Structure 1
């Protein structure tokens, strides 16, 4: 069975997203740290704390329901 994260918010620059693991409620940040490469380079997932998520994506994003597919 495939594991799917819930997308909570997208960064203003469009190169990051805040995700939640529905099975653990852990927050993750999806980024493309080598955006200068073709297609943004390889995607990276990193755990992110609730406070950092609030600072980067806004308080509402942390408590929001899934947005988009």
Structure 2
């Protein structure tokens, strides 16, 4: 999704929306600096999901579910 579309989503969805822009994030939830490419996708799939994305999603899940963070 182009970064500009995030503003459209936030303005259009009739419910509360959180928008997070993670630089160089590909649709595989991993960072791929520069232009997206098949070669880049093949390499990045061997690695873990981006830690910032993972922390953001886990934090959101905890907030909406009421599950506290581990101490």
TM-score (norm 2): 0.27
Instruction: Name the structure where helix makes up a greater proportion of residues.
Output: 2
TM-score (norm 1): 0.27
Instruction: Name the structure where strand makes up a greater proportion of residues.
Output: 1
> Higher relative CO (CA 8 A, sep ≥ 6), structure 1 or 2?
1
